[in-house]
């Protein structure tokens, strides 16, 4: 698989998975509760799930601002490191061609992560 194919697959995979999920829901009709009791049980389960997620994400205190900023930007920092490291290895004359191809595919995936997600969210209208 070449660099171009990897970049395209990395950029389009989230949209494809979301589309398949929507098609399955539309085809099957999704789950529709039969009465008010089932609706209340579903809402209660959703509230409990969100409460558990909030407790897992709670830092139990106020972290330093640099920790908050680092957590928010870690994915982008790591993607930049991957891209720059891959480009460094591609520019090195002593690296084998297969390794250079793998580095280009890895940097294309990281690049698609940064810009592909923004492009996809722009298409579906989410902010």
Task: Provide the whole-model pTM.
Answer: 0.49
- State the DSSP string of 41-73: HHHHHHHHHHHHHHHHH--SS---HHHHHHHHH
Q: Any residues with CB less than 8 A from the CB of 100 and at least 6 apart, and which?
A: 89, 90
Quickly state the pLDDT bin for 118 (edges 50, 70, 90).
Answer: confident
Q: How do the domains of the chain map onto residue ranges?
A: 1-7+63-127
State whether the Cα torsion 27-47-120-2 is positive or negative: negative
Q: What is the pLDDT of residues 82-115, one digit of tens each?
A: 989 998 988 888 989 989 888 888 888 888 878 8
Q: What is the average pLDDT score of the chain?
A: 84
């Amino acid at each position: 698989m070449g660099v171009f194919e990897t970049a395209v697959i990395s950029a389009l995979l989230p949209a494809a998975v979301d589309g398949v999920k929507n098609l399955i829901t539309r085809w099957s009709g999704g789950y529709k509760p039969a009465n008010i009791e089932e609706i209340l049980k579903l809402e209660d389960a959703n509230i409990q799930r969100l409460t558990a997620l909030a407790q897992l994400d709670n830092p139990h205190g106020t972290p330093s601002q640099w920790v908050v900023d680092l957590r928010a930007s870690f994915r982008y920092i790591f993607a930049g490191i991957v891209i720059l490291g891959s480009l460094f290895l591609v520019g090195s004359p002593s690296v084998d061609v297969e390794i250079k191809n793998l580095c280009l595919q890895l940097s294309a995936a990281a690049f698609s992560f940064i810009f592909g997600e923004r492009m996809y969210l722009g298409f579906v209208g989410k902010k």
